[in-house]
Amino acid sequence: MLAGVIALVLKVASSGILDRVLGHLQARANSEVEREKATAGVAIAHVNAELQRRQAQRDVLIAEQGRAVTAMMRPAFAYPLAVYYAAVIADSLFHFAWNVAALPNPIGEWSGWIISAIFLSESGERIARTISARRGK
C-alpha cells in the first residue's frame, strides 16, 4: 500500500504536473508583485502632484505678496469692514450715541460676502483637504 502511494507521488512529480503547478504559483506571485508596483506608482504620482500643486500655490502667494497692489487687496477690503462692524457692535452693546448708519443696499450684502470669503474660504479649504486626505487612506 505504501509503495503504491510512493509510486503514485513519483509518477505525478515526474509527469510535469508539479512543474505546471509551480509555474502557475510563480506567475500568480509575479502578477501580485506587479499589481503592488502599479499601486505604489499611482501613490507616488499622487504625492508628486500634490507637492507640485503646493509649490505652485506657494509661488503664486509669493508673487502676490511681492507687489504692493496685490498684497494690499485683502486688507483694503477687510480693514474698513472690520472698523465698521466694530463700531456697530460697540454702539449696540454700550449704547453710545454714535448711531452708526447701515451700509447701502448692495454694499451691505457684499460686505457679508467679503467677510465670509476671508474667514470661511481658508477654513473650508483646510476641511476639504482633511476630508480628501482621510478618504485617500
Count of the separate structural domains present in the chain:
2
Q: Which among 67, 90, 125 is the end of a domain?
A: 67
Domain of 119? Answer: 72-137
Residues 56 and 111 in one domain: no
Residues 24 and 55 in one domain: yes
Residue 55 CA: distances (Å) to CA of 11, 45, 62: 66, 15, 10
In the 8-state DSSP scheme, what is residue 61?
Answer: H
What is the reported pLDDT for 15? 65
The 10s digit of each residue's pLDDT in 10-51 is: 676 666 776 777 778 888 888 888 888 888 888 899 999 999
User: Torsion-angle region of residue 16: left (phi > 0), alpha (psi -120 to 50) or beta?
Assistant: left
Residues 127 and 76 in one domain: yes
Residues 55 and 85 in one domain: no
Residues 80 and 46 in one domain: no
What is the reported pLDDT for 23? 78
Distance CA 49, CA 56 (A): 10
- Which of 133 and 44 is assigned the larger pLDDT? 44
Residues 78 and 137 in one domain: yes
